[in-house]
A = this chain, B = another copy of it.
Amino acid sequence: MFFHKKELQFHAKPEKSDPVFAKQLQEIIGGQFGEMSVAMQYLFQGFNTRGNEKYKDLIMDTGTEELGHVEMIATMVARLLDGAPINEQEKAAKDPVIGAIMGGMNPHHAIVSGLGATPENSAGVPWSAGYIIASGNLMADMRANLNAESQGRLQVARLYELTEDRGVKDMLSFLLARDTMHQNQWMAALQELEEKEGGKIAPTTVPDEWEAMDFSHKLYNFSEGEDSARGAWATGNAPDGHEFQYESSPVGYGGKPELKPAPPYVHSTPPLDK
């Protein structure tokens, strides 16, 4: 069950209107690694956690926080749209700066949401639940989460470069900090899981006899050039304790596949090639 408090977690007040930046800022609301993604990813992970209450609680703490981030950034978008020059065609015809704003803003901000945030990314593509993962395996999911917070913080840093507005930068500073925390916490949880499960290869529950172990530590050189042979991933100890191997000229073990001719009832091309 969820409850809402009216206060924003952090302030969201731009110095001035900026409809083009409002479009760009949508990326961290409804983009692949925006706040809708992390909120929904964590909540579904929490809902689906079986046992392991300590991890579940951490996940629910964070997912719930991210819902508040959607709210905070949506508020910022609405304020960046205050005063958007959408009905000043006469001015726009003469003033190319206004023309560029009208061409450069997200049309949905004018036509669909009436100067409000939309559940879309910076290109205007609606958010899709296809972005998120909740697998039931915490080690795998901690890696998904660490990735999400890394990509998210990277995008916040880039947005920081895209604006001069002090008020916007303040909110982005807060988001940079929260993404730092979240990277830290998922790394800590991941490390604990790897220790408790006694392994780093997810899932740790696969019996050795299921795996074709001859192929578990070989780097195949499928892209010409030997640059990759110089890395820590080609020789020496792998993170799971085995030895890396490097294979310069990979060969195929599967032979050339030849499929049976299609049966007549699928109306594919009959055998023509003799």
Contacts and interface: CB of A to CB of B under 8 A. Distances in A.
A197 interface: yes
B223 A64 contact: yes
- Each complex incorporates copies of this chain amounting to 6
B147 A143 contact: yes
A272 B227 contact: no
Give the interface size bracket for A toward B: 35 or more
Interface string A142-164: 01101100110111011111111
Given A6-B256, A197-B272, A114 B137 contact: yes
Given A87-B162, A184-B201, A259-B75, A267 B150 contact: no
A67 B78 CA distance: 23
Contact of A260 (B47, B53, B82, B103): B82
A185 B244 CA distance: 9
Contacts of A121: 108, 124
25 contacts: A2-B2, A7-B252, A7-B255, A27-B107, A32-B112, A46-B223, A47-B117, A50-B260, A102-B104, A115-B136, A125-B125, A126-B129, A133-B151, A139-B269, A140-B150, A147-B147, A153-B201, A157-B267, A176-B206, A176-B216, A177-B214, A181-B219, A184-B238, A184-B239, A189-B233
